[in-house]
Chains A and B, each alone.
Chain A
Amino acid sequence: MQVKKTRYDQLTENLKPEEMIINMGPQHPSTHGVLRLELITDGEIVKEVIPHMGYLHRCFEKHCENLTYQQIIPFVDRMDYLSSMNNDHAYVMGVERMMGIDKSIPKRVEYIRVLVCELNRIASHLIAIGIYGIDIGAFTPFLWCFRDREHIMNMLEWASGSRMLYNYIWVGGLFYDLPVGFEERCSEFISYFKPKLTELNQLLTDNQIFIARTAGVGILPLDVAINYGCSGPMLRGSGLKWDLRRTDEYSVYPELEFDIPVGKGEMGKSGDCWDRYKVRADEIVESIRIVEQCLERLQKELKRGPEFDPRAKLPKKIIPKEQDFYIRAENPRGELGYYFISDGKTEIPKRVKARAPSFNNLSVLPEITRGVLIADLVAILGSVDIVLGEVDR
């Protein structure tokens, strides 16, 4: 039987004399984890990029075939390990909708969920920006971002008992209520953090070297972004106002005020690396606004009381009706989706498929890196902001 040649074979077999294959990764500081990029280069010019992943594949979907819905939550944490709260939130919402209990979740629980998710979003974007600085060659933003992120990590550790992988949001409620004094400490952090953000902007956003390295580089046209399934800051960086928190209006987001920042091509062209960076920087500001509103409500009308029990609505047994259901939610990196198939008899799902935003965002990389310099490839890959735990699952 004649085996049809794949595009990979065609690319790697017919090299011209001046072309050379270079491996970048899996252990490379600017691939953000264990990603291997196979580059076909002509001198400094990148002719083609072929991503190879799977080095961090931990069989998430196979594990799900043997675990109950509640037991899967810790595994979900480990997908996008920089924003575990957001992963939990999306997953838990999906199970709750299948159970039909999503409307009966107490308001305080919902607000705490949104609060910790947005704190986690800030932490995640701080890493994205800090690491991006390092990719470009700016070391200071990295240290500043990690210094501020540490405060968020400490707060979330205080609430959940864990620094990165929280398992805090449960189906029907929460692991615990917020610790006493959390709201006050969080407000203190916000007032500390706001001026720091201005400093960070002065360091990067208006930095001429940073602009020279990122503006007009790696332009992602909007139609390409949509066709490749890019979402989150990648899609918004190309100028489209698309945020599932507004589109799907899940949880208590309709009650909160925030804007959706989009890339406008201020420094170069719309959809370049600088736009994607700027969208993330602006989203931190919007997240701060959401956190402030949540804190205000949690301290006033939804104040903690002795009768409040975050586990009150927890179902004893999670057995959804026989159905299949797709839930999507806005992660810091884009549209995170879970596709559940339940057989209606057991607590174990028949199939769970995770649609990871980084996986789809990374798939556009070969398209936007054709003909760029190797140094620009690092800048473009950094602006995609992938988490390999999620790409490989």
Chain B
Amino acid sequence: MNFDEITRLLSEKFGSDVIIEVQTAGLQPALIINPNSIIPVCKELRDNKNTWFDFLSCLTGIDHGLEQNKFSVVYHLASIPHKHQLVLKVIIDHDRNLDSLPSFISVSDVWKTAEWHEREAFDLLGIQFEGHPDLRRILLPDDWEGYPLRKDYIAAEEYKGIKIKE
């Protein structure tokens, strides 16, 4: 199935509001999916024998920068039987308030790969994943303050009495 057929399949199955935008500008076209319907979309893409995206290559959390106040998660899917790839994106607005983190729905039920990748996104970007079974920091220490890959992150002066900055 090519990209247009997948787009048609999804909008026929879940209605036209499931795909918010179709990005075809770059080398790899992408579908921007409604944040609330990411789970049924992913399950359909995985279980439908025509698409059969059984392999989640990569899951990336992105901070869009200070002007935009947006966060997004990008899913790179691959199909081993059909050898095709697909990019899904979910974008939500968020005001960077540290008391309530931007919240996405976890796809770790669909692909277990997502479990550690979502922990990484939570760790480095402060993105919450609803329904994740084990959302803890993964690369940084458990008591680290702040989320380093956010564009407004200021590195701490010291950590437990150890000077970080020169």
Binding site for B on A (CB under 8 A): 6-8, 53-54, 57, 59, 61-62, 65, 97-98, 226-229, 240, 242, 247, 323-326, 328, 335, 337, 339, 341, 351, 353, 355, 359-360, 363-364, 367, 392-393
Which residues of A are found within 8 Å of B92, using beta-carbon distances?
A: none
Q: A341-B62, A363-B112 are in contact. Are A392 and B139 (CB under 8 A)?
A: yes
The answer on a CB contact under 8 Å between A6 and B135 is: yes
Q: A8-B134, A228-B113, A337-B58 are in contact. Are A324 and B76 (CB under 8 A)?
A: no
CB distance A62 to B113 under 8 Å?
no
Instruction: Assess whether B115 is in contact with A61, with CB atoms less than 8 Å apart.
Output: no
* A54 to B137 alpha-carbon distance, docked (Å): 10
B113–A7 touching, CB < 8 Å: no
Counting contact residues on chain B (CB < 8 A from A), the size range is: 35 or more
Given contacts A8-B134, A61-B124, A247-B83, contact A355 B57 (CB under 8 A): yes
In the bound complex, residues from chain B placing their C-beta under 8 Å from that of A53 are: 138-139
The 4 closest A-B pairs by CB, nearest first: A229-B113, A323-B26, A355-B58, A54-B139
A91 shortest CB reach to chain B, Å: 14
Task: Determine the distance from Cα of A359 to Cα of B83 in the docked complex, in whole angstroms.
Answer: 23
Given contacts A57-B139, A324-B26, A337-B58, contact A62 B116 (CB under 8 A): no
Whole-angstrom distance between the Cβ of A35 and the nearest chain B Cβ: 12
B59 → chain A, closest Cβ, in Å?
Answer: 9
Inter-subunit contact B148/A7 (CB<8 Å): no
Residues on B with beta carbons closer than 8 Å to the beta carbon of A59: 148
Q: Are B58 and A54 in contact (CB under 8 A)?
A: no
Query: How far is A323 from B135 in the complex, measured between Cα atoms in Å?
Result: 30
Q: Which of A229, A339, A364, A393 sits near B60, CB closer than 8 Å?
A: A339
What CA separation (Å) do A326 and B85 show in the bound complex? Answer: 10
Residues on B with C-beta less than 8 A from A335 are: 57
Neighbouring B residues of A392 by C-beta, 8 Å: 139
Contact partner, A228, options B112, B140, B148, Cβ 8 Å: B112
- B74 CB to closest chain A CB (Å) equals 7
Contact with A along B1-19 (1 / 0, CB 8 A): 0000000000000000000
Give the shortest distance, in Å, between A299 (CB) and chain B (any CB): 34
Chain A residues with CB under 8 A of B136: 6, 8
Q: Which chain A residues border B134 with CB–CB below 8 Å?
A: 6-8
A227 touches B111 (CB 8 A): yes
Provide a sorted-by-A list of 17 A–B residue pairs whose CB atoms are within 8 angstroms. A6-B135, A54-B140, A59-B148, A61-B124, A61-B149, A62-B148, A226-B54, A229-B57, A229-B113, A240-B80, A247-B83, A323-B26, A324-B74, A326-B87, A328-B57, A337-B57, A337-B58
Instruction: Say if the beta carbon of B133 comes within 8 Å of chain A.
Output: yes
Q: Is the CB of A353 within 8 A of B56?
A: no
Q: Is B98 an interface residue (CB 8 A)?
A: no
Provide the residues of chain A in CB contact with B87, threshold 8 Å: 326
Scoring B60, B124, B134, B137 by chain A CB atoms within 10 A of each residue's CB, the highest score goes to B60
Contact, CB under 8 Å: A226 / B116: no
The complex places the Cα of A367 from the Cα of B124 at a distance, in Å, of: 25
Q: With the chains together, A123 CA to B113 CA distance in Å?
A: 28
Chain A residues near B58 (CB-CB < 8 A): 326, 337, 339, 353, 355
A7 in contact with B133 given A57-B139, A324-B26, A337-B76 (CB within 8 Å): yes
CA of A245 to CA of B31 in the docked complex: distance in angstroms?
27
B133/A62 in contact, CB under 8 A: no
Q: B113 contacts which chain A residues (CB < 8 A)?
A: 227-229, 360, 363
* Closest chain B residue to A248, Cβ basis: B83
A6 CB contacts on chain B under 8 angstroms: 133-136
B116–A54 CB distance below 8 A:
no
Q: Which of B74, B83, B111, B113 has the most CB of A within 10 A?
A: B113
